[in-house]
Structure 1
Amino acid sequence: MKKLLTLKHWQLFCLLIVLPFILQLIHWSIAIVTMDMKWFFLLFPLVTLLCMAVYLGWIYTLGTQLVKKLPPGVRMNVGVFKILLAIPAVYITSIAVMIGFLPEMPALASDEDAMKAIQLILPLHLFSMFCMFYSIYFNAKALRSAELKRKVSFSDFTGEFFLFWFFPVGIWLLQPRINKLFEAAPERETGPILYRED
C-alpha cells in the first residue's frame, strides 16, 4: 500500500478517477446492451468495492505513514483515525452488497416501511460522512505538520483540507508534495504507535 504514496499525480488520478469511470462505463454499457438489470446489480457492488478500496487505501496509507513523519512533540491519535476510517468502509460495503441483492429482496410493503428504512440509513450515512471528514482533516493536518515541522492550527491546513475533500483536483497539487515527503530522508523513530493529539 505504501506504493500509493510514491505514485505520480497522473498515476494516482488514473487509479482514483479514470479507472472507476471506465469501469462504470463498462458496467452501465453491459446493463443497457443486454437490457438486463441483473448485470447492473451484479457488477455494481464489485465496481463500488474496487473503487472504495483504492481511495480508502490511499487515505489509510497516507494517514498511518504521515504520523511517522511528524516532528518531535507533535502527536496525533492514529488509533481514532483507523477506527473512524473503518466505519465508512463497512457502511459502503454493506450498502453495495445490499444493492447487489436488491432484486432478490421483497419490495417494501408500504410508504411506512420505506420511511423506516430511511430513518435507519440516514443517521448511518451522516455518521459515515463525519468519519470521512475526520479522515481528510487528519491527513491534511498531518501533511502540513510534517511539511512545516511544527504543530499547526486549522488555518494552516485549510487549503489542504479542501484539496483532500475535492480530491479529483487536489491530487494534482497534493501528490507531488506527498512524493517529496516520502522520497526524502528516512522517517523518525516514534516507538509504539500510540499518538495523542495535544
Structure 2
Amino acid sequence: MDKFLQLKHWQVFLYLLIVPAFIPDNEIGEYISVIYGFLFIVWLLKINEELYKRLPKGVNLNIRLLQVNLTVSFLYFAVIQLFTGGYHISSEQDNYAIYGWKMWVYIPFTFYILYSYGYSLHFTAYSIHTIEKKLYGKSTEYTALILGLFFFPIGIWSIQPKINRILRTPVAE
C-alpha cells in the first residue's frame, strides 16, 4: 500500500486521465467504473489518513467526517452507475418525465456530494499546508493548494510531489 500511496505525479496523472478514457461505454464499463471509483476513493482516504497522522496537535480537522462523506459519495455513485446507468439532468429536456420521483433523490444527493467534494479539498489542502509549515517552516499557500486540487488531474503535477515528500517523513509520536 505504501507504494500505491507514493506514486509519482505522472503515474497518478495517467491513472486519473488516461485510464478512464478506455473504459467501455456498456454494462461491463459500468462495473469497471465502479471498481475504478472504489480504487480512487481508497487511495484518497489512505493519503488523507496518513496526512492526518502527521498533523500537529490542535489542528481541527475531522477525519471521520471525511471518511463518512467519501463513503456515502462512493455508494451513491455506485448505486446510480449500476442501477440506472448514470443520469443527466439539464434544462434542455423534461427531467421529471424522464426520471420521475427519482429526480427528488438525485438532486439533494448531488448537493451533498458537492459538499463532500468541498470538504475533501479543504481537508487535503489544509493538511498539506499545516504539515509543510510544521516540517519546513514555510508552506504552499492554502488557496493555491485548493485550486490545484480543484483542477485535480492537472494540479496533481504540483501536489503529488508535496504529498510524497510529507509521506516520507516519519510519523511523530
Deviation of 1:180 (Å): 0.8
- CA gap of 1:56–1:45, structure 2 versus 1, over 3 A, is same
Correspondence 1:57-76 to 2 at 5 A: 57-76=42-61
Deviates more, 1:1-10 or 1:126-135: 1-10
- Residues of 1 paired with 2:74 and 2:48: CA distance? 15
Question: Residue 87 in 1 paired to residue 72 in 2?
Answer: yes
Distance apart, 1:156 and its partner CA = 4.2
Instruction: Give 1:20 shift.
Output: 1.4
Identity of aligned residues (%): 27
The residue that corresponds to 1:16 in the other structure is 16
* Aligned mates of 2:165, 2:84 — CA distance in 1: 41
More divergent stretch after superposition (54-63 vs 131-140): 54-63
Q: Which has the larger radius of gyration?
A: 1
**Structure 1 residue 118 corresponds to structure 2 residue 103:** yes
Q: With structure 1 as the length reference, what TM-score do the two structures score? A: 0.73
The answer as to whether partners of 1:4 and 1:12 remain within 8 angstroms in 2 is no
Deviations 1:51-72 (A, max 9, x none): 2123222221111110111123
TM-score using structure 2 length: 0.82
Deviation at 1:169, TM superposition (A): 0.6
Structure 1 stretches (4+) deviating beyond 4 angstroms? Answer: none
Q: Structure 1: 5+ residue runs without aligned partners?
A: 29-39, 102-110, 190-198
- For 1:193, the equivalent position in structure 2 comes to none
2:28 aligns to what? Answer: 43
Matched, 1:133 2:133: no
AA aligned opposite 1:144: H
* Number of equivalences: 162
Separation (CA, whole Å) in 2 of partners of 1:114 and 1:21: 27
Q: Could you say if the C-alpha distance between residues 22 and 113 of structure 1 is closer, same or farther in structure 2, counting changes exceeding 3 Å?
A: closer
Structure 2 unaligned blocks of 5 or more: 87-95
Which of 53-62 and 175-184 deviates more? Answer: 53-62
Structure 2 CA distance for aligned equivalents of residues 10 and 119 of structure 1: 40
Equivalent-residue separation in structure 2 for 1:137 and 1:143 (angstroms): 10
Moved more, 140-149 or 46-55: 46-55
| 2:156 matches 1:171 | yes
CA distance in 2, matches of 1:129, 1:136: 11
